[in-house]
Amino acid sequence: MDGKQFVTQIADINDNFAQWYTDVVLKTELVDYGPVKGTMVIRPYGYAIWENIQKDMDARFKAAGSKNAYFPLLIPMSFFTKEAEHVEGFAPEVAVVTHAGGAKLEEPLAIRPTSETVIGTMYAKWIQSYRDLPVIMNQWCNVMRWEKTTRPFLRTSEFLWQEGHTVHASEDEAMEETIKMLNVYKEFFEETLAIPVFTGRKTDKEKFAGAVATFGLEAMMLDGKSLQIGTSHYLGQNFSKAFDIKFLDKDSTQKFGYTTSWGTSTRMIGGIIMAHGDQRGLVLPPKIAPVQVVIVPIAAHKGGVNEKAKELEAQLLAQGIRAEVDTRDMSPGWKFNEWEMKGVPVRIEVGPRDIENNQVVIFRRDNLEKQTASMDNLALSVKGLLDEIQTSLLIKSKANRDGRVCEADSLNGILNGVENKNFVKANWCGCRECEDKVKEFAQATARVIDSDATEGEVCAICGKPAKHKVIFARAY
């Protein structure tokens, strides 16, 4: 059979991107829908990706001075009301526990939608002196936000994430931390996930509830829409005042600390799918692929084939490559398609003919090219190939994105840009009204503030003097 039969199983990527995405997510066994509407079950293959992500990010956080901790799932409702903007922003989507132990609780407990409030409460107890600062902690956990419409990974009621929370003695230091972590994220997305991102400050409309400033990382998906793949917030003294996070400074006066928070979630797995995928399914960057190399024996019933495949697997494993032999009793073509759908970066085919010639056939998932390679020093050449794939994925997605960024100086220009699956850079006066107009007219939002406008430039919407150059896009 040719590929056509396979094509019928995953929706056409250009024809119906949303359906394609759902097919990939479900049919590659990354996730399943949970029994509670809006929740997802992350299956072993999907979770393995998350574990690889965690491992990589954790190393970066630790290098940046952060330590991991864990705070409780349940938060007294009263904690939320302490910061006005925060409660207003989160109240509509908080799930609340009202009963426990067979009785009604005196105070309802929120299931955390984010942990600023509990962590702030604990920080207030822990911090006494300027010598206790800075405090830089991160937690890996689940959070719950009762969203009205949900999609696997991109927006689910419950999701896994990491949230970093820091306290600093000065405004400058806190702002520095905010930007530092933004860059840690940026490097991670580019180096590990091969996803280029635009970073910048969010407009007031898009900022985190309770933050002084939010900085976002925006990635372009294959359909030209933007995905907010991470955020870093400068919280100023908003939370330290609400939660009484004070320290005695060198000058013997009590001062409120300056706090930050930064987070990324399993949403980024949706980003990987939509940034690298193709008609055959997933394309995983080698650094986070659960299986980096799958070895498919050909004509395995003939003597020595499985044995040779196992031998090669052992060689690769010894070099730290995540390799796996697929010995299932199915036709090779079936296995080829399945592993391609699951995004395995490299496939090695070994058959009687190869063994005779002391070679293997190597298939690259990213460009679908086949080549033969000697069995001698196979681990070394595979290692090199994995690096090459990792690099070329970033180059490819960067080229794709850069080819789809345009500029506009009118509402029509913005509409035209996003309709053509572009990110649109446009000057903006800074007012909410113009931002709303773009949303209404072009169904696009301000993703990040790219730069300050130069003298004489005018707002693309109202024509008044421009303050910033903003990236507009349709977003997930």
Binding site for RNA (CB under 7 A): 1-3, 5-6, 9, 18, 22, 33, 37, 89-90, 92-93, 113-114, 145, 147-149, 155, 206-211, 214, 228, 231, 263, 265, 280, 298-301, 329-334, 336-338, 340-341, 349-354, 360-361, 363, 368, 370
Note whether 16 and 22 are within 8 A (CB): no
Give the angle 115-180-426 at the CA atoms, nearest 5°: 95
Least Cβ distance, residue 182 to RNA (angstroms) = 15
- Alpha-carbon distance 57 to 133, whole Å? 23
Least Cβ distance, residue 250 to RNA (angstroms) = 34
Least Cβ distance, residue 231 to RNA (angstroms) = 6
Least Cβ distance, residue 331 to RNA (angstroms) = 3
Residue of 139, 380, 399 whose CA lies nearest to 262:
139
Packing angle between helix 171-191 and helix 44-63, nearest 10 degrees? 140
- Alpha-carbon distance 212 to 178, whole Å? 11
- Alpha-carbon distance 213 to 202, whole Å? 7
CB atoms within 10 A of CB 3: 11
Please say which residue, 27 or 464, places its beta carbon nearer to RNA.
Answer: 27
- Alpha-carbon distance 261 to 161, whole Å? 13
Residue of 426, 429, 425 whose CA lies nearest to 466:
429
Least Cβ distance, residue 203 to RNA (angstroms) = 11
Least Cβ distance, residue 453 to RNA (angstroms) = 25
Least Cβ distance, residue 49 to RNA (angstroms) = 19
Note whether 199 and 215 are within 8 A (CB): yes
Packing angle between helix 432-442 and helix 411-419, nearest 10 degrees? 50
- Alpha-carbon distance 50 to 55, whole Å? 9
- Alpha-carbon distance 222 to 405, whole Å? 13
Which residue bears the tokens 């003695």?
169
Please say which residue, 5 or 254, places its beta carbon nearer to RNA.
Answer: 5
Amino acid at 383: K
Residue of 275, 288, 395, 392 whose CA lies nearest to 17:
275
Least Cβ distance, residue 19 to RNA (angstroms) = 8
Least Cβ distance, residue 52 to RNA (angstroms) = 22
Q: Please provide the DSSP assignment of 148-192 as one string.
A: SS-BTTTB-SEEEEEEEEEEESSHHHHHHHHHHHHHHHHHHHHHT
Integer CA distances (angstroms), 369 to 1, 288, 331, 363, 364, in order: 19, 21, 21, 6, 5
Q: Please provide the DSSP assignment of 84-130 as one string.
A: HHHHHHHGGG-EEEEEETTEEEEEEEEEPS--HHHHHHHHHHH--BG
Element (H, E) at 220: strand 213-220
Beta carbons within 8 Å of 259's beta carbon, 6+ residues apart: 116, 120, 123, 165, 166, 167, 168, 174, 235, 236, 237, 238, 239, 240, 245
Q: Provide the greatest CA pair distance for the chain.
A: 82
Least Cβ distance, residue 6 to RNA (angstroms) = 3
Least Cβ distance, residue 208 to RNA (angstroms) = 3
Least Cβ distance, residue 137 to RNA (angstroms) = 19
